[in-house]
Amino acid sequence: MNAPVEKPKKPAMSLEKAAKARRKFLQSVGLTGGVVGLSLLGYIPVLGASAHRLRPPGALNEADFLSSCIKCGQCVQVCPVEAIKLGDMIDGFGVGVPHIDPRQQACDFSCDAVQCILACPTGSLTYKKPPFLNIREGALLAAAPILKAKENDPEPTLNLKERIGVARLARPSACLAVQGKGFKGQARGAGFPGKMRYMDVDRWKPIPIAEHPYDLPLCDLCVRECPVKGAIELRPFKSADGTSRMQPVVLEPCVGCGVCEMVCPAEPAAIVVDAQATWHGEVALAPAPAVTPKEPS
């Protein structure tokens, strides 16, 4: 027996219905094309040279980083100084991917153990790269960096193999040390919200830089506050007018954390971190810049 309630047999598709189906199909194709097209706009910032962001410590090479990061922000959550921020729509495929803007808030390793790497579930931030992911020449650190804050601990080093960038004295003429000047007061002014750990204040808790004023006969903030041992030093040089001056020189152990850039009182910073840059040897001291030149505009 058949089910007693049955609809009558469907007639062949009417013209109207066929037209409707065709419209629906075309609209569906339009929708597909539209959404995929939009998603591919993500290429623009990625291909643009401007996309070089400073990534958190242990980050894979840029392309691998973008492909492997699951955009969860667990690295953001563990950072005690809140150095890590997530990318927005203008980052294209980098939306939701972490980066650090060192001038605003650098990574100062307040966490002691590169916690962001520990938190990352995908290996985008990693202590040790799998062998098939290449290490760019000059990214590898010669030795495990010694954290000044842990210098007296039994295990003073950071479990970090590659640098994320390299610091560079970008505007020597703006550097107070080069000018022979000292520095007194808050490094970035009273309103600056950035934080840093000062061992002599609290071993565990970072405090606002604004709460830690300085009084230095010769500015050496970048050298003094660099968290990594032997990454930067102040060296004498002969300036153009023959006087003897000092200037910061970045050395091989620099990991690119950006503390020097954050703390530099010159505006804009005299020293900056080149994100994702690699080590190419020391930048030569000579020729020395003149002492009071015009700021190039």
Partner 1 sequence: MSRFADLFMGMLGAAPKKPEVVSERVQTIMFRKYEDKDRYIKEKMHARDHHLVSHKWRNRRWAVLLAVNLLFVFSFWLDIQILEGALTASRFVGFHLIDLNSALQVMLAHKHIIVNLFIGTFTVFLIWVLLGGRTFCSWVCPYHLLAEWAEALHLKLVEKKLVTDHEFHRGTRTVFWLLFALLAIVTGYTVFETLSPTGILSRALIYGPGLALGWVGLLLVFEIVYSRRAWCRYVCPIGLTYGAVGSLSPLRVSFHVEHCFHEGDCRKVCLVPHVLDVTVKGRASEESMSLGPDCTRCGLCVDVCPTGALRYEVKGLSQLL
φ/ψ of residue 127, rounded to 5: -70, -40
List of residues 6+ apart from 109 with CB closer than 8 A: 147, 149, 158, 227, 228, 257
- Partner touching 62 among ligand SF4, partner 1, none, CB below 5 to 8 Å by kind: none
Using CA atoms, how far residue 152 sits from 111, 145, 157, 226, in Å, is 16, 14, 10, 17
Shortest gap between Cβ of 293 and ligand SF4 (angstroms)? 15
- Coil, helix or strand for 91? helix
195: which strand partners?
208
- First CA to last CA across the chain, in angstroms? 92
Residues of this chain, 102-141, that bind partner 1 according to CB under 8 A: 119, 121-123, 130, 132-133
- Partner touching 273 among partner 1, ligand SF4, none, CB below 5 to 8 Å by kind: ligand SF4
CA angle 215, 270, 61 (to 5 degrees): 120
- Partner touching 292 among ligand SF4, partner 1, none, CB below 5 to 8 Å by kind: none
Specify whether the backbone of 185 is left (phi greater than 0), alpha (psi in -120 to 50) or beta: left
Contact flag: residue 47 with partner 1 (CB under 8 A): no
Q: Closer to ligand SF4 at the Cβ: 32 or 292?
A: 292
- Partner touching 226 among ligand SF4, partner 1, none, CB below 5 to 8 Å by kind: ligand SF4
Residues 63 and 94: their CA atoms lie apart, in Å, by 10
Token pair for 203:
């071993």
Shortest gap between Cβ of 142 and partner 1 (angstroms)? 27
Residues of this chain, 229-268, that bind ligand SF4 according to CB under 6 A: 231-232, 248, 250, 254-260, 264-266
Shortest gap between Cβ of 133 and partner 1 (angstroms)? 8
Contact flag: residue 114 with ligand SF4 (CB under 6 A): yes
Which residues of the shown chain bind partner 1 in the complex (CB under 8 A)?
A: 1-7, 24-25, 27-28, 31-32, 35-36, 38-40, 42-43, 46, 63-64, 66-74, 76-77, 86, 88-90, 92-93, 95-96, 119, 121-123, 130, 132-133
